[in-house]
Amino acid sequence: MDWDGFAEGHLDAAHEVLTRLRPAIESVAAGLAERLRQGGKVLVCGNGGSAADAQHFAAELVNRFQRERRPYAAIALTTDSSVLTSIANDYSFEQVFSKQVEALGRPGDVLLAISTSGNAANVCRAAEAAKTAGLWTVALCGGKGGVLAPLADEVLSVACTGVTARIQEGHAMIIHALCELIEELLADG
């Protein structure tokens, strides 16, 4: 293993999150906090490692990240196996998230759509459904954002690397930064 190359890639992703993406992360956190303050909820989706990130983000919002506080409304659309498999069986895997967005999403809510490539068909369909339903959509992706980027209102793309693992490491940092900023912004109520 090339430990120096591994470290360099990791540090490049961290540097990008801490510098180039910082203003966008702060803006997205403010938008999320305001929508949560107004009674909105956050729907989160992704596949594979991004599904794990979706569940992680929802758990941090519903439970807590670092502060003792009230729970915030968040749902990972990756967790209900009966819903996922029935949609995939009766319609298609491409619709497993979009049908949930149609059922659960309301104006004032947020969709956080996670795809390292930006090309996951089911995540892109969810973003399309969110736009139709009047949700604010945030894309968490890599590279140039793929098909997903133009479907989102805000894009947080870890673009410095084409390595999926490094993009995912950047996403983990972004998710934790969003959680901490949201808790700070909503600390007064």
User: Which class for 102: exposed (0-12), middle (13-18), buried (19 or more C-beta within 10 A)?
Assistant: middle
List, in order of start, the domains of the chain with CATH numbers.
3-185 (3.40.50.10490)
Average pLDDT over residues 48-69: 97
Question: pLDDT tens digits for 111-161?
Answer: 999 999 999 999 999 999 999 999 999 999 999 999 999 999 999 999 987
| Helix H or strand E encompassing 112 | strand 110-115
Q: Quote the pTM value.
A: 0.96
